[in-house]
Amino acid sequence: MTLQDTVLMQLRNLILGGQFEPGQRLAEQQLAERLGASRTPVRSALVALEQEGLVEANETGKYLVRQFTAQEVIDAIAVRGHLEGMAARLVAEHGLSRQLQGDLLACLDAGDRLLTDNPLTLDSYAAYATMNDRFHALLLEACGNRALQRAVALNDKLPFAPASAMLPMQGSVALDRDWMLYAHRQHHMLFDALQRGEGARAQALAVEHTEVAKMNMRLALERRAESEQVMPVLKLVIG
């Protein structure tokens, strides 16, 4: 985990929470001061956010917040689920190598340790997101299907579509922590299906796994609606 990971997580949270208007410029220095970081990790995080489709660079190279709808996010998450489901099925059918088994177990163990924090700290949350990205990347890499890998990479350029983009943003909230614990149990169940070579079950679990991300999206929107600050800045509309 790096400082960039923490800054990236915080900026995603601010964008989802409606703290910036669509088209608003994100100035590195102002963001650095707001987050208590230097400009270097902020700059790196903005590059990552552009790759995720949350911001876009204008003709002068300045980063602006993109406008998107909740339905666009939910659709992208659903597509990711089906693509990762296919990847999981292929991995199960091919069989786990000793190296892949060890790498996945290391992810599971790291997630187990991190989720013992109650409430989750900012650092433990960011570390869990890093672990989660690696778990998903390992499966995608191991599936061996280049076209599928390219499809996932393309889908990940849509807002909040990447694996860790819609993890709960408030680790101190009991319901959010419950969802993270449930999602990590799904990781364990998926690993078990892969070990057993159960392709259909692995596929179904990977698809079901994205329901957590969709739920987190709905929870985030509900919190925005309940906020005393009226900020219709992202125009997030549930379809």
Q: Where are the domains of the chain?
A: 3-65, 70-226
- CA 145 to centroid of chain Cα atoms: 22
Beta-bridge partners for 56? 64
pLDDT digits (tens, 9 = 90+) for 82-118: 999 999 999 999 999 999 999 999 999 999 999 998 8
Q: Judge whether 3-65 and 70-226 match in fold.
A: no
Average of pLDDT values for 194-213?
95
**Count of Cβ atoms closer than 10 Å to residue 171 Cβ:** 21
Distances (CA, A) of 44 to 7, 40, 51, 162, 169: 9, 6, 11, 17, 20
pLDDT of residue 174: 63
Tokens representing 100?
């892949």
Model pLDDT for residues 24-65, shown as the tens digit of each residue: 999 999 999 999 999 999 999 999 999 988 899 988 889 999
Q: Which residues contact 226 (CB under 8 A, 6 or more apart)?
A: none
Q: Which CATH number fits domain 3-65: 3.30.1360.120, 1.10.10.10, 3.40.640.10, 3.20.20.70?
A: 1.10.10.10
Contact criterion met (CB below 8 Å) for 15 and 234 = yes
Domain 70-226 architecture: Up-down Bundle (1.20)
| Residue of 147, 142, 170, 128 lying closest to 12 (CA atoms) | 170
Structural contact between residues 91 and 142, judged by C-beta atoms closer than 8 angstroms = yes
pLDDT for res 147:
98
Contact 206, 66 (CB under 8 A): no
Rounded to two decimals, what is the model's pTM? 0.83
Contact call for residues 100 and 90 (beta carbons, < 8 A): no
